Each structure stands twice: as C-alpha cells, then as structure tokens.
Structure 1
Amino acid sequence: MNPTVQLFKSESFFQNNLKLFVNRCSEDFVVPFHAHEFVEYSYVAEGKGFHHIGEDIIPVHKGMLFVNPVGVPHVFRPATANVSEHPLIIYNCLFNSELIHTLSIMIQEAEIRNHLTDLEKNQIPYVSILDYSQRMEELMVKLYRESAIPRIGSSTILYTLVSQLVVTTYRHIYQATCNEKENTTDMEHILHYLDQHVNERIRLSELVNISGWSERHIGRMFVTHTGRTFGAYLQHLRIQKSCELLKNSQHKISFIAELVGYRDVDSFYAVFKRITGETPQGYRRNFRAEP
C-alpha cells in the first residue's frame, strides 16, 4: 500500500444545503488511498475485494458495513482486475459536521449523539458490521434512490433515513459490546469452575451443561480469551497447580499428579516435562536450592 494519503475535502462532495452525499460505485484501482474531512458509511452491495483501512487489510463481501471516522485513511479494492465481470459495488453515505449537528438535534439518546461526535473528532476506531438482517442494505438503497432523484420532501426523508442508519448501526455496536461483556462474564465462570475442579476428569460436555454454549462455541471462546485450546489450557492449569504443590508441600509426586487430575503418573511426567522443561523432581529440587 502506498503510504501517501490524499485528503478528500468536503467542498468536493457537498455542493448543496443538505451536507449529505450518497452514491453507488464500482471500485477500481484508480482511487487513491485517502482520508476525509467527513464521516463515511460504506456498504458492500455486490462482489468481493479488500478494504485497506488504517493499517488493516480486510477481505470484504456482500453485507459488510463500515463506518469510517473523520481522518482515517482507507480505500476499497476489487478482488480482481477484471472489474467488468467481477465488480465490487459499494454504497457510500457521506456527511460532515454540519449534518452531524442537525442529526444531534433529531436523535434523542445522548450516547448516540456522543457516538457521532466521536466519529467527527476521530476519537474512536472504524466500525465493521455484518448486516445479517439486510436492514442496512435497505436503508442504503433508499438513501441512494431518494438522493438521486430529489423531490418535494426529499430533505426530510433523507435526514430521517440517515438517522435510521446511524441508530441501526449503533444498535449493532451496542449489542456486540453487551454480548462481549456477557461472554467474558460467562467465560470467567467457566475458568473458575476449572480452577475449582482441576482434580476431576473434565470434559467439554460438562462445560456445555454449566454454560449453555455449544462445544464449538466454548472452543472458540477458549482461544479468544486464553489464547489456547480447551485441552491446552487445562493441561497448563494442571501443571501450574502441580508446580505450586511441588513448591509448597511435601506430598509425593504420584499424589500431586492425582490432586491435579492425572490418573496416569507417566502422562503427568510427560506433560510436566513438555511444559516446564524439567521433571517434577528436578523442579522441586531446583526450587528448594534457590536462596
């Protein structure tokens, strides 16, 4: 990616009193990597390609919506140079600070008004949302059609549609945040359960029962929250507990293996050596030799 960033100015797009610009375009390799003086909502309507935004390169497909704050550089690129047969079609809705002020009068909720202000002042990162319900596509199409052929009352309709787009997008962001907090809380419950039952034979099916998640989802959550698979996390937890017992107790190693959930001492030795690089006896001896 060329590090040079071209600035797109407001006067090139907002040549009417609406301070709103909506278009539908086929992306190419000509438009430069650029930043804006305005907020941009971009919806992928057709095709596949890549969104170069900030320092990220994101594969894109139909149904993806991006909210780009003021000043964040980006550009869309199609997946192939044969854009006539495989176009990447994007709907864009652009608006500047003046329209943000107008929308802030229309929108009642303070948190959504603050969200718009943060976009205007480049105080939050870009937003990426998948439009499962196709509600955002519907709003983008209506915005494009109403702006393409202005009629009596078009200004009111366009402002209403933009407000709906902003609110609908914010609902997705808010719900995703709530889901993440809920998932984090539930995951902490699972990790606490493992910590308290490390001496038992634990299967994923038991975690399904205490969490209500599927085994597949639990597996994903372990990687997301711990950086390890369920099996790897459990092994590391057991070895961590065994290290504490080796340091702070006089128990036999075979008994320690049972206390941390190993019924087979040979398996315990093998996992302990693989994770710590030492045998259990060597670990205990080296710890006690330290001043």
Structure 2
Amino acid sequence: MQKAEYRYYEISQDMPVLVLTGEKWETVYGMDNMHFHNYLEIGYCHYGKGTVQLAERELTYDAGTITFISRNIPHRTCPDPEKADEKQKWEYLFVDFDTILKKCFADAPEKYTKLKKDLEQKVFVLDQKSNKRAVELMQMIIEEEQCKRSNYKYAILTFGLNLLLFFDRLDQKETEEKPLSDTMDYIRKLINYMELHYMENIMAKDLAKSCELSETHMRRIFLEYTNATPLEYLNLVRINKACELLMKGNCSVESVSEQVGYTVLSTFMRNFKKITGLSPNSWRKKALEDPENIGAYQVSVFKGW
C-alpha cells in the first residue's frame, strides 16, 4: 500500500501566502514520497523535467511548468530518470485561499462559498503556453514578499486573489483528470470532515460514517497513509483554530477551548502545549507582542520541508 505523508506548513494570520524560494529549492530532487499539504500549493519549475504523480495518473512537467495542487490532494514530483542526477529549480507558494477569499468577498458570501468549493477540487499542471499570466502573478507575489515595500501585504492579497481567479476560470478538463484512488479519496473525505466539524464532539463513528467505512478500517487506512491517527490530526486542526481565536485577544482560554471542540479544559491545555510547545496564555502573549513573526509561535508538528 502506498503511503501519503502529511506535510504541514505555517502561514501567518495576516499574510495568507508563504513563499519558498532561493538556493534550497535549486537542488537535485530525488524520488519524492506521496504527500499532501494543509494549504494550496502552487509551484513554478525554472528548469528540470519529470512527472507530477497524482494518485493513479501522471502529468509531465519541464522548464516553465506551473502546478496548482489543492490542499489534501496526495501527489509527488518525480524527476526524469535520465536526468535524476541533474539540478532542478522550483519556487513555491503555499496559499491560504480561504483567508484571501473571506477578506475579498466579505460582502458576497455566496461567491466566497462557491469559489472555495471550486478551488478545493482543482489540480493543474500547465506548460508555458498556458500559464503566462499565472507566472507573472506568482513572480509579483514573490517580489512583494522579498522587497516588503509600502503596503506590500495588500499587494500580495490582491495578486493572490487574481492568481486564484486565473485558475478558477480554467477548464478543469485541461488536467485530463481521473478519479483519486478509493483509499486516497477516503483520506481526503476524512480530513475535510474534520476541518468542517472540528468544533463538534466528533466520535470515531462519525468519521467512519463520513466515508462509509467501518471504524476499524477507517483508523487503519488513516494511520497507514498519514502516519498519524485521526485523533492526532483532529487535535492539530483544533489547536490551529485555537491559535486563530487567541490572536484576537478577547477570548478567554476556557471559551477558546469550548469553541474548538474540547469539552474538558485540561485536555485542551495538554494538547495545546504538546503541539505548540507553549501554554495558550504564553502563546497569545508572544504572538500579540510580535505579530509579524507569528509563524514562530504556531503549530510545528508534521511540518513540511
């Protein structure tokens, strides 16, 4: 059975795009493991050649290719075997599109809901002929993040929205999409269910019902594919949401605990410390004192590269 690693990335509350670029991403890429992320991944290949594998299908890439892979979709990048010892150069954006859409469509909730639903289903691997505008927007985001000129955060938000709309308008048939394998589809359904219902008293039977599996089988495939139990992932989601509430500064720890689905305060405190390394009050104090570096105080388990 092919496993899929869960690679978690931290994104600041007020900066919904994480930029990964530089020397680290200009290297010899070995055979990657199948994995999925907690945020949308957009990648640009400056040079290199190979395939992007998504469950039971493969899409080729080379210099100038741009990839768009929604969160929770298992995938991996595999260099061309004949060029396996050669360097490749990639740049990546990890995008919290939910935050971007909420900010930009605050007065149009129906548009926010539709766009979010559409983007969560999309996967694209586009060659140079099809992606010119997307590459331009991606490079503008990278430049703004690196230079940090006046109002750069607003510029990134604007360019980010335009980038999302570019992909939303593309014809999904261009990807030659085939269904995900059954097991990976189950994993995605489980993750989506937890992210939608984390504030509720979720039981194992609820998770099993969401993907029409037995509780035993549900637990087994989730652990085998993600190297985490469903409860560990649920705790990660809940603590992430707790961090968002704590940043607002006006909620008590007890209230935050209840809002993210914990019925026992001590359980919340224990999981918060385990995942972040800090107590809720200590995390909030440091985050409020230094909001620009909030990533340093966010959840750090299952982290990506």
Rg comparison, structure with higher value: 1
More RCO (CA 8 Å, sep 6+):
2
